[in-house]
Amino acid sequence: MHQNSICTNNYNKTTKTIALITIAFSLTACNYMAIRPQSKTTNKEPLKVAVPTHQLNPKSRPPAKMKNLNFTTPAKYQGKTVYQIKPRNQEKVIALTVDDGPWTKTTSAMLDIFKQNNVKVTFFWVGNALQANPEIAKRVVAEGHAIGNHTWHHWYRNMDTTTAKSEIERTNDLIYKTTGVKTSFFRPPGGYLNNGLAAYAKNQQNSVVLWSVTSADTDPHAKPQAFVKNVLKGAKPGAIVLMHDGGGNRERTVKALPEIISGLKQQGYRFVTVPELLEMQ
Ligand SMILES: [Zn+2]
């Protein structure tokens, strides 16, 4: 329907030009909001123009959904550890999760694949990786993916409360400063639940999100096909799948990803983010 607004041939050139200028302004407004999420934008919405923006400039398409930058865990999962859920009616939903980024090259390559397939996932970010790659982080958020906290240093060792607090809050602060996102989803590095991190996160009413299926993409010897097989074999309604975009060379994960997505789609799965998944039980 929106194709009718500026793309019909009946419009004369002047009308088209005015429409394009209007669109250019509205795109600028959206992009400005995207990179300055903390700024008070008042109640004025950018002028709504029904436009097939992808036909104008595919690179400047505004983010689909900028309004929800708060990823809040449902009350029943606050202070809890979750591996998977049992969705109502056994609905075939699955949540892909991507850890240890943002990372140069691999994150962007994965974002391209997610976008082509219209798949939204959940990224668990490491603070020092985020510090190195803020622009990639902004793209992740602008493209509608959910965000969780994966500590600053990705340490496995035992931590006192002060250190655990610093690992988590320093990362939360940078996530907010970089993208405007607030999250109450936490994943402890290595899935360790007893080194002080999970205890701190639970105390803050976060949910501690582990996984029920691993791609095992950190195995240095496995081929991408093995990652595909691991995920497709382990898939169940309500599953949470572990994979990585950072913390090492993840080119094999990027290679496996299209087949992981198409295989799950063939099995009838629909992709949801972790925040969405936890609302489905
Ligand atoms: Zn990790």
Is-above-0.85 flag for pTM? Answer: no
The residue annotated as part of the active site, out of 145, 150, 154, 244, is 244
Using a 10 angstrom Cβ sphere, with 0-12 exposed, 13-18 middle and 19 or more buried, the burial of residue 69 is middle
Q: What is the dihedral of CA 272, 250, 221, 267, to 10 degrees?
A: 20
Q: How far is CA 26 from the centre of its chain?
A: 25
Q: What is the pLDDT of residues 237-270, one digit of tens each?
A: 999 999 999 999 999 999 999 999 999 999 999 9
The Cβ of residue 134 has, within 10 Å, a number of other Cβ atoms equal to 15
**Distance, CA 207 to ligand 1 centroid (Å)?**
16
**pLDDT surpasses 90 at 34:** no
Task: Determine the residue type at 3.
Answer: Q
Annotated active-site residue 153? The verdict is no
Question: DSSP letter at 237?
Answer: T
Average pLDDT over residues 29-56: 37
Q: What is the pLDDT of residue 46?
A: 41
Name the E strands within 72-157. 81-82, 93-99, 122-125, 146-149
Rounded to 5 degrees, what angle do the CA atoms 182, 183, 186 make? 150
Annotated active-site residue 244? The verdict is yes
Ramachandran bin of 191, using left for φ above 0, alpha for ψ from -120 to 50, beta for the remaining angles: left
Q: Measured between alpha carbons, how far is 147 from 50 in angstroms, rounded to an integer?
A: 29
Q: Measured between alpha carbons, how far is 3 from 158 in angstroms, rounded to an integer?
A: 58
Q: What is the pLDDT of residues 83-129, one digit of tens each?
A: 999 999 999 999 999 999 999 999 999 999 999 999 999 999 999 99
Residue 129 C-beta-side C-alpha neighbours within 13 Å: 25
Pick the more confident residue, 65 or 205.
205
Task: Determine the residue type at 24.
Answer: A
**Distance, CA 14 to ligand 1 centroid (Å)?**
54
Give me the sign of the Cα torsion angle 76, 156, 241, 126: positive
The residue annotated as part of the active site, out of 99, 100, 217, 245, is 99
